[in-house]
Structure 1
Amino acid sequence: MSSEACTPRTGAVVVFYNPDEACVARANRLARSMHCVVVDNTGSVGTAAELGLSGAIEYVANGENVGIATAINQGVEALIRADFDIAILFDQDSEPPASLLTELPMVIARANEAGEKVALAGPAYDDPRLRGVAPFVRFKWWKLERVTPEGEQPIDVDFLISSGSCINLRWWSSIGPMDDALFIDFVDLEWCVRAKTRGFRVLGVPWVRMSHELGGEPVKVLGRSYPMHGPLRHYYQFRNVIALMKRSSMPMTWKTTELVKLPVRVLIYCFFPSQRKEHLAMVWRGIRDGCRGRLGAYRQR
């Protein structure tokens, strides 16, 4: 097959939240390589020109933080309306290598030509703060199977983080959009699980690497680094993991892994950072709201 025949129309979706000049510059560089939709969750409504965005960028200003799931859905739907085949998702601080922009769409294109149902392809992630290149993962009973990203063939995995991942829009309507109610955290995991449950594959591409900070500034516990977030993010993390564990659609292997990890997370996130009381309070609210099925954006009560 010729490379021209199998080159899919590829666009990018970048989600903004209070972006700085470096975020705008990254989006402008990306727009020189492909059509780029920027969905802005910043609380104030502005214009693309005021931000300094290129005129080539399709800019969607929400005027409020509607969550990562809704923002991704907005960007993907914009690409679908414009007849794109592929959507590559990026956080505002993602710095993709040029190879990612071509290699991942080609993995999807080859799968389509071979009649394989591939929903998503994504790179290996390199975070120097957290032991370098992160392994791909599969769900196993009570723990994750960690797969070293090496070799010249895509690797079947159970989920990929959204930033840098490449969605096959051929199957978007069959799988459905990201779950708006989750707002942020576990959004990508839930979508990957849903895709796999419906018979689609999720592929890690080991020869494509992207530098990406997996979480906030790490805290070191017993010689191991763990990504740290603020209290509000910990609310969403604990709320959503509890809410998803209640769903019959989520695999029992994943649920058992989370049962093991939950008390460790409580210990690390609530007792090692500063603002311990705030972290503990938000974790408790998250657990409570997850049990009660209160989802969407966090509201002060």
Structure 2
Amino acid sequence: MKKVTIIILNWNGKEDTLECLKSVRQLSAINCQLSTIVVDNGSTDGLVNEIKNEKLKMKNDNVKLKIIENKKNLGFAEGNNVGIRYALKEGADYVMLLNNDTLVEKNMVKELLWVMEKDKTIAIAGPKIYFAPGFEYHANRYKEEERGKVIWYAGGIIDWQNVYASHRGVDEVDHGQYNKEEETDFVTGCAMMVKREVFEKIGFLDPKYFLYFEDNDFCQRAKRAGFKIFYVPKAIIYHKNAASSEKPGSAIQQYYQTRNRFLFGFKYASLRAKLALLRENLKFLLKDGIRRKATIDFCLGRFGGKVGYS
């Protein structure tokens, strides 16, 4: 029986994390041994005490619960790495990264595991992800009956010419247009199942990124090491978009998206794309604001978390 460990990272998101845990408790554990690790990233929201109470409730459930407390906010990458290392030490065959601002359908893990066990060459897999109702980018655009069926992720696409990573199907109402299991450029770190062998061969999430693009980087390293990455539409979750970090367009998002896109692009893109990034880099240096700060930090090799942006 395969051991699957779910890792949920919390940073001052107590209510979302507790709601996520309640949905995880309902997961089907057929043909696998499920456990959950909540990694608290130096929060001040009282989550740990709340989870200890939740742990008592889960005592007789089929999902075991472990709490790890980090003394400070290590970011998405290193915060998850703490949980991953513990899971591997405890013998996990699969590790599932799961955002704390998500709700899972009962068969999510079962569907991912079935695909990955059926084809041993698939080493990373991710579910179809809908916006949680009311958390859509353009909430007023949709009819009431369409809420809960608006796609957030149905596969990952990397535009290497411009070095942009995007979610296939985002903002579309699901009419079955992305119901095919298939290989994809990347699986979002919001919900990513990874075989043990991947970590053993390529290592962990790169803490240089701190937040954003670490999932793209991890998937690129996995692909270049010969692993397959798959989108599995029968596995389904719901995402309260940006509840776990910051709203789209926030200072934190602008800073890390700008700096880390340069880091990712200069690491993996073609020479032509790198030259285009260099021109963009120079353009940002001539402007004021967050993107200029992010560009300067990239040029000076200042990575990881930054004061004021963590």
TM-score scaled to structure 1, two decimals? 0.76
Deviations 1:243-288 (A, max 9, x none): 22222xx1339957x95xx79xx8xxxxxxxxxx9xx622211111
State how 1:1-301 maps to structure 2 within 5 Å. 8-31=2-25, 33=27, 34-44=34-44, 48-51=48-51, 52-55=53-56, 56-112=64-120, 116=121, 118-127=122-131, 129-130=136-137, 132-133=150-151, 134-140=153-159, 142=161, 150=177, 153-215=180-242, 228-247=248-267, 250-252=268-270, 255=273, 259=277, 281-299=289-307
Offset at 1:202? Answer: 0.8
What RMSD, in angstroms, separates the aligned Cα atoms of the two structures? 3.4
Q: Is this contact kept in 1: 2:26–2:106, CA < 8 A?
A: no
Q: Which has the higher contact order (CA 8 A, sep 6+)?
A: 2
Could you tell me how far apart the structure 1 residues matched to 2:47 and 2:242 are?
29
* Amino acid in structure 2 at the alignment position of 1:245: G
Could you tell me how far apart the structure 2 residues matched to 1:182 and 1:199 are?
23
Could you tell me how far apart the structure 1 residues matched to 2:181 and 2:117 are?
13
* Amino acid in structure 1 at the alignment position of 2:54: L
Could you tell me how far apart the structure 2 residues matched to 1:201 and 1:89 are?
17
Give the fraction of aligned pairs with identical amino acids, expressed as a percent: 21
Q: Is this contact kept in 2: 1:48–1:54, CA < 8 A?
A: no
* Amino acid in structure 1 at the alignment position of 2:103: E
Q: Is this contact kept in 2: 1:46–1:61, CA < 8 A?
A: no
Could you tell me how far apart the structure 1 residues matched to 2:65 and 2:209 are?
27
Q: Greater share of helix residues, 1 or 2? A: 1
Could you tell me how far apart the structure 1 residues matched to 2:206 and 2:99 are?
17
* Amino acid in structure 2 at the alignment position of 1:138: I
Moved more, 47-56 or 202-211: 47-56
Offset at 1:46? Answer: 6.1
Q: Is this contact kept in 2: 1:69–1:184, CA < 8 A?
A: yes
Identify if the C-alpha distance between structure 1 residues 154 and 253 changes in structure 2 by more than 3 Å, giving closer, same or farther: farther
Q: Is this contact kept in 2: 1:10–1:35, CA < 8 A?
A: yes
* Amino acid in structure 2 at the alignment position of 1:124: K
Deviations 1:226-247 (A, max 9, x none): x714212211111111122222
Q: Number of aligned pairs? A: 265
Offset at 1:86? Answer: 0.9
Unaligned runs of 5+ in 1: 1-6, 218-226, 267-276
Could you tell me how far apart the structure 1 residues matched to 2:118 and 2:5 are?
18
Could you tell me how far apart the structure 2 residues matched to 1:202 and 1:104 are?
12
Offset at 1:125? Answer: 2.0
Could you tell me how far apart the structure 2 residues matched to 1:99 and 1:110 are?
16
Could you tell me how far apart the structure 1 residues matched to 2:95 and 2:194 are?
5
Question: What SS is found at the alignment partner of 1:102?
Answer: helix
Unaligned runs of 5+ in 2: 28-33, 57-63, 139-149, 170-175
Identify if the C-alpha distance between structure 1 residues 97 and 241 changes in structure 2 by more than 3 Å, giving closer, same or farther: same
Identify if the C-alpha distance between structure 1 residues 60 and 282 changes in structure 2 by more than 3 Å, giving closer, same or farther: same
* Amino acid in structure 2 at the alignment position of 1:13: I
Offset at 1:201? Answer: 0.9
